[in-house]
Structure 1
Amino acid sequence: MEHIRGNVIVGQSGGPTAVINSSLVGVFKTAKDRGAKTVYGMRHGIQGLLEEKYVDLSDHIQTSLDIDLLKRTPSAFLGSCRYKLPEADKDNGVYKKIFSILKKLDIEFFFYIGGNDSMDTIRKLSDYALEIGSSIRFIGVPKTIDNDLDITDHTPGFGSAAKYIGSITKEVIRDGLVFDQNMVTIIEIMGRNAGWLTGASALAKCEDCEGPDLIYLPEIPFDVESFIKKVEELHKVKKSIIVAISEGIRTPDGKYISELTDTVEFIDAFGHKALSGSAKYLANMIGAKFGWKTRAIELNTLQRSASHLVSRVDITEAYQVGGAAVKAAFEGLTGQMVILKRVSDDPYICTTDTYDVHKIANVEKKVPREWINETGDFVTQEYLNYVKPLIQAELTPIMVDGLPRHLTLNDKNLKNI
């Protein structure tokens, strides 16, 4: 067993997923197995750390059952945040405070589980550590259902969300076939600038289901009139039409479809507009024009934390990237993010590696144009070949009284609050 001088701290940031806690377990267990004395967890990410809110994870993860429960528990066990660190050369007061807290806790290794904005946090903290001569090592652990982190083949969280979306789309299609009437159902799926999740609706197309009729990703400009004409043509040959759209689809002039609605805009700390209402807007437009029955289904947060339909491949890889992050940090690396490297599709083999976080932070990976069909209203077989291995197998929840049991954090054990 290696002797580690200092302690470990880990945080979760950004939107939750069905497997983010599996990565947390990977960090915790690997760090403890390698001799870390204390593994602290930040409450609500870097924002909570600034308020000195943290827990000793050993107080909460004590048995193998706790580990199994936490792996299967959706959302962020420690709580999350969307906090944008300023650039150190413009405001280093925040950094001085963070590093003073880390010094007080004798932190030697810092892990942050998150997506693009979280990797930006790792970039800034590792750069500041280098500037002041701190030996603390900073490693990013990838997480996002959006699958838009660059370099890594895919991100933990995406596979389970894709599995859920494919399954729900099949069920919505079955529901639409019940009544002998013209109907248009529009499913709105998360994805601001990248359509990885929306593309997963195509998984519903299989031997027992014809799949959605149209799929629109934000990578392709969305023409409302062309869309209405396609729906009209489809209704000449079938009664129930199913359309999947990304929440971030835009008109050719760059305006979000959701901005055509009357909803009030919310903008987060990173300048991201909250996108909602595109499906309802389009459904209402079709209903008014043709008099058909329409439905708008907004998956919203449902697709993020559906641990009852988690992919075993996804939850396993989430655990592996957490462990790989600890291994990398304990071997002396810093300013890196763990990545997944696909070796083959059939059989599916994926390994872990590390990559310079400076080349990943603030870069969005989008669905390749060649993985979208020529008319821009469906994905290709190449996309399906990419995503299918990520949704394989299941991990059944631990059920108590007919419902999934989750591991929850008891706030009474918080330190320094």
Structure 2
Amino acid sequence: MAASPAKKRILVGQSGGPTAAINSSLAGVVAGAREAGAETVGMRYGIQGYLAGRTVALGEALPDDDALALLRRTPSSWLGSCRFKLPALDAPEAEGFFADAFAKLEADGFDAVLYIGGNDSMDTIAKLGAWGARMGSPIRFIGVPKTIDDDLVGIDHTPGYGSAARFVATAVSEVARDADVYDLKSVTFVEIMGRDAGWLAGSACLAGPDLVLLPEVTLDEDALIERISVLLEHQNTVVVAMSEGVRGADGHLIAEKTVAAGTGVDEFGHLAQLSGPSRYLAGVAKARLGVKTRAVELSTLQRCASHCASEVDLDEAFELGRRGVSAALAGESVRMCTLTRTGDEPYAAEYGTVDVLEVANKVKPVPREWICADGMGVTDDFRRYVAPLAGTLPQQLKGL
């Protein structure tokens, strides 16, 4: 009697910032593996943790459908995360690093590696896949997209974005109501995540702020103050939703004017602490207009707000994880699972894969034509883009 084929082994990790939907992708990976009769092992704290020998048997940790259903709605990164940059393929240390990494992957018997994350995570998959192809490794490498920044190329939108957008719209709407309770002139700046692209700050349009500032258009402070001044002639309160990555007319991050001396950069060269432009602009507005101002930083609250999770977001995140398994077992490698929008009303999307080498280390900006001519708002095209991803907002936010 012929021996049954060995069960496939799939290694999965999470990397970068946590979201409200990244665990739904993990649940999708585990579910997809079970459907295929494969075994899943989780990296504790991403690729860095795996290389240090830290793993968890997901079949034992998540034994049934109830566990997967709970994981699907659990915020943050259940396996733990890391920000660990693999060496460039031509770096002096590359030969030793990748030789050790592949020796471990082969010794552990893995047939595929799935990595759930954003741009930097796709860089990890690209490098592992490229090195594996160079050495003729049979291990398959698949990226499963995730980022609230929504700045990955090759995909209509990323899991995590819809839920974060729903939270941002809800928070901005409630902050605006809070700011308008007194009969006095005031300006509130709401600072939203987004280093290089303004997709998340733009989602505030669902709450109807007076102005929206994105990194894609440099900010003229004089023009901003003049615009606020005109608005205050007709209303008590002005609400400005702004990206943390807004840049001044000189092209430099406004955050650089407020960041603490000695703040370094992370493994990927990003400013380690990007915050404060709302406080700076609030100070400018107070000094020049003589009105009450306030800076509100949504900060990490916007990443894992499971109470505002979008059902579309959770469903798509799960399915992308499940399809990542299918892609790997079908022999695909150095690919990222993707979504292509096929309709807005009603919303619809199709699944597929793209070459991860065309994704890694690239940024998808908000199209200039989706930003108002003066750079202080977004168009109806942007609203149509984000609305179905965030889903229906709470009824009380519609107003009386």
Scaled to the shorter chain, the TM-score interval is over 0.9
Tell me: CA distance 1:103–1:360, structure 2 relative to 1, closer, same or farther (3 Å): same
Task: Provide the rounded CA distance (Å) in 2 between the counterparts of 1:87 and 1:280.
Answer: 38
Deviations 1:209-256 (A, max 9, x none): xx2111000000011121112111211111111001100011122111
CA contact (8 A) 1:49 1:98 kept: no
| Alpha-carbon distance, 1:353 to partner | 0.2
1:55 maps to what in 2?
A: 56
1:20 maps to what in 2?
A: 22
Alignment partner of 2:225 out of 224, 228, 231: 228
1:353 maps to what in 2?
A: 352
Q: Does 1:249 align with 2:249?
A: no
Deviations 1:78-117 (A, max 9, x none): 1111111002332221111211211121000100001111
SS in 2 for 1:341: strand
| Alpha-carbon distance, 1:64 to partner | 2.2
1:194 maps to what in 2?
A: 197
Q: How does 1:171-190 map to 2 (within 5 A)?
A: 171-190=174-193
Give the number of equivalent residue pairs.
387
Tell me: CA distance 1:3–1:16, structure 2 relative to 1, closer, same or farther (3 Å): farther
Q: Does 1:339 align with 2:338?
A: yes
| Alpha-carbon distance, 1:286 to partner | 1.6
1:410 maps to what in 2?
A: none
| Alpha-carbon distance, 1:266 to partner | 3.3
SS in 2 for 1:179: coil
Give, as a single letter, the amino acid of the residue that structure 2 aligns with 1:271.
G
Task: Provide the rounded CA distance (Å) in 2 between the counterparts of 1:73 and 1:157.
Answer: 13
2:397 maps to what in 1?
A: none
CA contact (8 A) 1:3 1:34 kept: no
2:270 maps to what in 1?
A: 272
1:407 maps to what in 2?
A: none
CA contact (8 A) 1:52 1:101 kept: no
Q: If the length of structure 2 is used for normalisation, what is the TM-score?
A: 0.94
| Alpha-carbon distance, 1:262 to partner | 4.9
SS in 2 for 1:379: coil
Give, as a single letter, the amino acid of the residue that structure 2 aligns with 1:39.
T
Alignment partner of 1:29 out of 25, 28, 31: 31
Task: Provide the rounded CA distance (Å) in 1 between the counterparts of 2:327 and 2:337.
Answer: 8
SS in 1 for 2:283: helix
Q: How does 1:118-157 map to 2 (within 5 A)?
A: 118-157=121-160
Deviations 1:130-152 (A, max 9, x none): 11111000000000000000010
| Alpha-carbon distance, 1:4 to partner | 5.6
Give, as a single letter, the amino acid of the residue that structure 1 aligns with 2:267.
A
Deviations 1:373-393 (A, max 9, x none): 111100000001111111126
Task: Provide the rounded CA distance (Å) in 2 between the counterparts of 1:35 and 1:262.
Answer: 51
Q: How does 1:406-417 map to 2 (within 5 A)?
A: none
SS in 2 for 1:249: coil
Deviating more after overlay: 58-67 vs 24-33:
58-67
Tell me: CA distance 1:128–1:200, structure 2 relative to 1, closer, same or farther (3 Å): same
Give, as a single letter, the amino acid of the residue that structure 1 aligns with 2:303.
R
Task: Provide the rounded CA distance (Å) in 2 between the counterparts of 1:236 and 1:4.
Answer: 74
SS in 2 for 1:227: helix
Task: Provide the rounded CA distance (Å) in 2 between the counterparts of 1:99 and 1:393.
Answer: 46
CA contact (8 A) 1:223 1:252 kept: yes
**Structure 1 runs (4+) greater than 4 angstroms displaced:** 2-5
Task: Provide the rounded CA distance (Å) in 2 between the counterparts of 1:319 and 1:302.
Answer: 22
1:400 maps to what in 2?
A: none
Task: Provide the rounded CA distance (Å) in 1 between the counterparts of 2:227 and 2:264.
Answer: 32
SS in 1 for 2:230: helix
Q: Does 1:259 align with 2:281?
A: no
Give, as a single letter, the amino acid of the residue that structure 2 aligns with 1:142.
P
| Alpha-carbon distance, 1:21 to partner | 0.2
Deviating more after overlay: 78-87 vs 283-292:
283-292
Task: Provide the rounded CA distance (Å) in 2 between the counterparts of 1:177 and 1:269.
Answer: 42
Q: If the length of structure 1 is used for normalisation, what is the TM-score?
A: 0.90
CA contact (8 A) 2:259 2:275 kept: no
2:40 maps to what in 1?
A: 39
Deviating more after overlay: 257-266 vs 109-118:
257-266
Give, as a single letter, the amino acid of the residue that structure 2 aligns with 1:323.
R
Give, as a single letter, the amino acid of the residue that structure 2 aligns with 1:110.
V
Task: Provide the rounded CA distance (Å) in 2 between the counterparts of 1:164 and 1:62.
Answer: 31
Deviations 1:129-181 (A, max 9, x none): 11111100000000000000001011000000011111111111111111101
Q: Structure 2 regions of 5+ residues with no counterpart?
A: 394-400
Give, as a single letter, the amino acid of the residue that structure 1 aligns with 2:58.
L
2:396 maps to what in 1?
A: none
Task: Provide the rounded CA distance (Å) in 2 between the counterparts of 1:196 and 1:344.
Answer: 19
Task: Provide the rounded CA distance (Å) in 2 between the counterparts of 1:239 and 1:263.
Answer: 33
Q: Does 1:111 align with 2:111?
A: no
| Alpha-carbon distance, 1:3 to partner | 5.4
Give, as a single letter, the amino acid of the residue that structure 2 aligns with 1:13.
S
Task: Provide the rounded CA distance (Å) in 1 between the counterparts of 2:67 and 2:216.
Answer: 41
Deviations 1:297-336 (A, max 9, x none): 0011111000011000000000000011111111110000
Q: Structure 1 regions of 5+ residues with no counterpart?
A: 205-210, 395-417
* Identity over aligned pairs, percent: 48
1:298 maps to what in 2?
A: 297
Q: Does 1:164 align with 2:167?
A: yes
Give the RMSD, CA atoms, in angstroms. Answer: 1.5
Task: Provide the rounded CA distance (Å) in 2 between the counterparts of 1:4 and 1:369.
Answer: 52
